Structure 1
Amino acid sequence: MSFFERLKTAASGEWRAYTEHPFTNGLADGSLPEAAFRHYLVQDYLFLIEFARAYALAVYKSPSLADMREAASGLSAILDVEMNLHVKLCADWGLSPADLEQAPPAAEMLAYTRYVLDAGMRGDLLALKVALAPCVIGYAEIATRLASLPGADAATNAYRVWIAEYAGVPYQEVAANARAHLDHLADRYVTPAREAELTAIFKEATRLEADFWEMGWRAGKPVAELR
């Protein structure tokens, strides 16, 4: 079993809560309220800005040139590809990139990104990549599952573009490379004693990912249902 699979197995409850959250199912069948998706997407744009900083930190933390190049490719994927998708989708609501950058950050977004950056600052490259893994690799797994569900690519599904982006070959390759690099780092640096520490980081990052979905999910609920 690979290192990443061991992490998933150890965090199976957290992983299911994240990858099978009702928010994701609402994307697949198109039932997710627009308000929920819009709030999520704006916060995810802010999230990606901080994630880009984490990848820049990964360049600094890299012990080899190959590791630096891997981190730099992840940084490019965020700044040059993923953020453009958010800009394109938000433009339909009349939101400019400046509007997105100036949006008030949600507590869930701050909690998650601060956790990832702190894991990277305190630890080595492997600790940082473990904290990044639920997002980078998890989105690919989620999108693959959603794309296989009936109606996910229907013309009437407002979220088909989002699903197609993360289920598509380019992003799936980004996730596969991230997983391979994580396993490569683990082969070099993981010891039985340290695996428990890294598993704890993975569990917390995965829990914070589920909280991020929940943040968007709540934004689409009537106020009466939240009381």
Structure 2
Amino acid sequence: MTLFNRLKTAAGTEWSTYTGHSFLQQLEAGTLPKAAFRNYLIQDYLFLIQFARAYALAAYKGRTLADITQGLRGLNASVEETELHVRLCAEWGISREQMEATPEHPATVAYTRYVLDTGMRGDLLDLHVALSPCVVGYAEIGARLKPALQANPDHPYAEWIAEYSSEQSQQLAADAIAEIDALGERFLPESRFREVAETFATATRMESAFWQMGLDLGAAEQG
């Protein structure tokens, strides 16, 4: 079993909770309140800014040109991904400037700073493991939700599903998995597995908290 598969298996409960969250169930069915989706998008835009910083850190901590290139790829993908959020929020008349002026929710701060702190105090493997639930999980979710888009081209969240079910998203996830497996051979004595597995599980739990934030903000706005 590869390192990534071992990490995912060890965090089986956390991974199932993350990828099967009520936010996603409602999104797939097209019943997710627009207020929940809108608030999630704004926070995810702010989230991506911090994740771009984390990938820049990965490039800095790289010891080889391949390491640096992988970090740069993640940085560019994070920046490009913000354009989806800008387009979707523009439909509500929300500008990029308004998004950037929105305060970060505590769930956004907790998750992104955890990743950055993990990268600062750990090695390149620690950082990529902390980043992986996002890039790999979103691709897995996108692939699972793709049939809903195919069944209903007018799905209210069609553009979001199309983004994360795209070939580009799937390839980014595959590259992230391959990077973790390769870094495991360089940086992971077996005695460290439990520590790295806890990093993966913690980041995965924070993904679930991020979905819940969207639901909570949406409910508060509607209520």
Aligned to 2:43: 43
Note if contact 2:61-2:124 (Cα within 8 Å) is conserved in structure 1: yes
Aligned to 2:83: 84
Deviation string for 1:7-46 (max 9, x for gaps)? Answer: 0110001001100001011111100000000000000000
Secondary structure of residue in 1 paired with 2:63: coil
Q: How much does 1:156 deviate?
A: 3.5
> Does 1:95 find its partner at 2:114?
no
Aligned to 1:181: 179
Higher helix share: 2
Distance 2:208 2:158 in 1: 21
Match of 2:154 among 149, 153, 156: 156
Question: CA 1:160 to 1:224, structure 2 compared with 1: closer, same or farther past 3 Å?
Answer: closer
Any residues of structure 2 matched to 1:105-144 within 5 Å, and which? 105-144=104-143
Aligned to 1:64: 64
Distance 1:187 1:142 in 2: 28
Q: Which runs of 5+ in 2 are unaligned?
A: none
Deviation string for 1:119-141 (max 9, x for gaps)? Answer: 00000110000000000111001
Deviation string for 1:125-167 (max 9, x for gaps)? Answer: 100000000001110011111113x456524321111001000
Q: Which runs of 5+ in 1 are unaligned?
A: none
Q: Show structure 1 runs of 4+ deviating over 2 A.
A: 150-153, 219-225
CA RMSD in angstroms comes to 1.5
Count of equivalent residues = 223
Aligned to 1:218: 216
The amino acid that maps onto 2:38 is R
Question: CA 1:153 to 1:121, structure 2 compared with 1: closer, same or farther past 3 Å?
Answer: farther
Aligned to 2:32: 32
Structure 2-normalised TM-score? 0.96
Question: CA 1:11 to 1:22, structure 2 compared with 1: closer, same or farther past 3 Å?
Answer: same
